[in-house]
Amino acid sequence: EAQVTQNPRYLITVTGKKLTVTCSQNMNHEYMSWYRQDPGLGLRQIYYSMNVEVTDKGDVPEGYKVSRKEKRNFPLILESPSPNQTSLYFCASSFLATNEKLFFGSGTQLSVL
């Protein structure tokens, strides 16, 4: 089954404790992206990648890091989480072509205390 898998689904942590949210897709997609969803703001792009070893900032990259060492994986790293990073996070992927449909993971609800 074609899917984007994120882990964990729920995560509660404390300020400053490094964490990683994993994302994996099985559709051989070149393009992968991370979004955060906040009430009243919709989804905002954090980082994206157009292929292995190619990553770039989205609209809200501060406090986040990503890597793309393999085509299928695109982890999101919070080196020193802060309470304002409490949010619902989505990973998405697609083929690298104009107007391609994005496939989304089920989301990771992060709470930073």
Partner 1 sequence: AQSVTQLGSHVSVSEGALVLLRCNYSSSVPPYLFWYVQYPNQGLQLLLKYTSAATLVKGINGFEAEFKKSETSFHLTKPSAHMSDAAEYFCAVSERGDNKLIFGAGTRLAVHP
Residue placing its CB nearer to partner 1 in the complex, 4 or 112: 4
- Least spacing, CB of residue 62 vs partner 1, in Å: 18
Residues of this chain that interact with partner 1 (CB under 8 A) are: 4, 31, 33, 35, 40-45, 48, 50, 58, 90, 92, 94, 96, 98-102, 104-107
- Least spacing, CB of residue 16 vs partner 1, in Å: 29
Residue placing its CB nearer to partner 1 in the complex, 2 or 14: 2
- Least spacing, CB of residue 107 vs partner 1, in Å: 6
SS3 labels along the chain: CCCEEEECCEEEECCCCCEEEEEEECCCCCEEEEEEEECCCEEEEEEEEEECCEEEECCCCCCCEECCCCCCECCEEECCCCHHHCEEEEEEEECCCCCCCCEECCCEEEEEC
